[in-house]
Amino acid sequence: MTKRSITLTLTDADGLAENTEPCFVVLAVSRKEIESGNCSKALERLLVLIDSAQSVTLYRESLLLQVHGYDDDPRELPEIPAVRAYFAQLSSMWPHWLWFLCRSTGAVSLLMSLLCKVKVHRAQGQFGIEFIDHTDLCVVLTDLCQRSGCLCEAFNIPLIEFESSIASAMECLPEI
């Protein structure tokens, strides 16, 4: 695989749409957005990623997730019902996570822990996630894959590339 130089670009949806250079894309979601159940701002930013073949290719495996406003909450994000509900709602509208989520940052595991039944394990100031029901995990993964398959048709992505991206996302998860 060819190494590429990636930079962090701070911009809004319009700036992202005009970008032509590889970069990480941070989807920052606030507690206010989550608790109001308002996915419109996040959805607007995510839709930019699929507005052209160039964007779909450019931002492959570059999306990071960031949730603000829960630093004082002793629970981990997967333990907060409002956060889980927000990402379930957002995923029902935008299923393309597995193509876009960055692989080396834990973004895939984070999203899946928000969409699936999990148990949080704590030890020595650290935490880990256990997927309680692997069937549930498989159902969610299958649903996301099926609903995001339209990217292949819409943007002429070879099926082998799509399958490769899905496989690399699954490698970020425990064996199922």
* Each residue's pLDDT tens digit, 28-60: 999 999 999 999 999 999 999 999 999 999 999
Lowest mean pLDDT among 98-107, 123-132, 138-147, 149-158: 123-132
* Residue 14 forms part of a structural domain: yes
Tell me if residue 106 falls in helix, strand or coil.
coil
* Residue 104 forms part of a structural domain: yes
**Chain centroid, CA 32 distance in Å:** 19
Q: Write the pLDDT tens digit of every residue in 157-175.
A: 999 999 999 999 999 987 6
* Residue 94 forms part of a structural domain: yes
* Mean pLDDT of all residues in 84-98: 97
* Residue 123 forms part of a structural domain: yes
* Residue 93 forms part of a structural domain: yes
Sign of CA dihedral 41, 116, 98, 152: negative
Q: Enter the tokens of residue 1.
A: 């695989």
Q: What is the pLDDT, as a whole number, of residue 4?
A: 59
Host domain of residue 141: 7-170
Number of domains into which the chain is organized: 1
User: CA end-to-end span of the chain, whole Å?
Assistant: 26
* Residue 176 forms part of a structural domain: no
* Mean pLDDT of all residues in 92-113: 95
Q: Write the pLDDT tens digit of every residue in 111-141.
A: 999 999 999 998 888 888 899 988 999 999 9
* Residue 56 forms part of a structural domain: yes
Q: Please, which residues bridge with residue 153 across strands?
A: none
* Residue 175 forms part of a structural domain: no
Going by their DSSP bridges, the two strands 126-131 and 23-30 should be labelled as unpaired
Q: In terms of pLDDT, which residue wins out, 20 or 105?
A: 105
